[in-house]
Structure 1
Amino acid sequence: MFTLLRGSKVKRLCEPHTPVKNRGTKTGRSELKEERAKTMITITEFQKIGVGLSGFGVFFVLFGILLYFDSVLLAFGNILFLSGLAFIIGLRRTAHFFFQRQKLRSSAFFLGGVALVLLRWPRIGMLVETYGFVLLFKSFFPMAFGFLATALNIPFLTTILNKLSGSSSSMV
C-alpha cells in the first residue's frame, strides 16, 4: 500500500475499495465475526519463537546424529527442542503433558535420555530418548501418518502410510 500526501489529504494507492455490507445491522456483525473466525488463527509471539526454537532443536539433533552422535550438538538440540515446546504450549501444559500419571514411564525414559546426552553418553542417551519419544507420542503417530497419506499423493507411499495409520482409502 502506498500513500500519496497532498496537503492535509492522504490518498491510498493500489488498495481497492471493498464495501462491507450490512455492517451496522445485527446480522451483518455476526456475519463479520463468523468470517473472521473462519479465516483467523491467532499465533502469539511466544508461539512463533517456540516454533523457531523447536525447529532449530530438531535441526541440531539431526545434525548431531549426522556427525556421529556429537554430544554437544545433541545436548544443544535437546535443550532447544524442550524450550521451544514450553514456548509453544506454555510451561504449565508442558509440565502437565510430561507428568501425567499414564505417561510417567515414557517421560522418565525421554527425560532420562536427555540427561544421558547432557552427561556425554550420546549413543545410549539417544536410544533411551528415542524409546521414550515413541512411548510419549504413540497415540499421535496414526494421525500423523493419516495426514501424510492425504498430503502426499504418491500411490506406493500412500498405501504404506494408510496401513500404518490404520485407515482405509476404500470407498466401499
Structure 2
Amino acid sequence: MKNAFKITIAFLFLIWGFYACKKKSEITIDDQNLTECLQGNCTYEYVNNSIIVNQPMTVMPGQYRVFSAKKENGFSTTTIYFQAPMQGDSFLLTEADILAGKVKHFFSCASCDYYKSTPIAGTVKGIKVKRTNTASEKWLLDATIVLAAENSKIPVDTVYIKQYFNLAVK
C-alpha cells in the first residue's frame, strides 16, 4: 500500500511539473514603427460579430471580428480585410488561415488597368489594447501579407501593416 501511495504522489508531481514548466504562448506586439499613411486617406477599423463575403468590400453579420485597413487616394481604393475570432484578447492568423480566405485584398479603380491580387502567405497578429479612462476599445495589429496575381502562387507584392484599429462607428 505504501508503494502505491508513493507512486501516485510521484506521478502527480510529474504531471504538475510538466504543466508548471510548459511555456505559455503569449502574443506581443510593440507599438514602434507604426504604418504611416503617406498619400491619401487611411482608415484602420474593425467590426464585431461579422464575416467577409466574397463580394468586394462586403461585410455581413457573422461570428468573427473583421478588421479593415483602407487606403483611398484620388484614383483608387485598396482595402485589406482580416477575419479574426471573436474570443480572447489576442489572435494569430497563419499562412493556413490566409489560404483559407480569412484575409482578403481588394483594389478598385474606375479608370485603370490592373490585375486582381490574392493573399498567398504571411501572418497577422493582433492584441487588444487595455482601455484607459473613457477611451474606446482598440486593437493593435501587425500583419505581413504576401500577394500574388489571381490563380498564381508567384509573389508580386508584400503588404506590411502595423497600426491601431478602432471600433467602427455606424
- In the superposition, the TM-score normalised over structure 2's length comes to 0.26
Larger Rg: 1
Whichever structure has more strand as a proportion of its residues is 2
In terms of fraction of residues, the more helix-rich structure is 1
Q: Per chain length, whose mean CA-contact separation is higher, i.e. which structure has more relative contact order (CA < 8 Å, sep 6+)?
A: 2
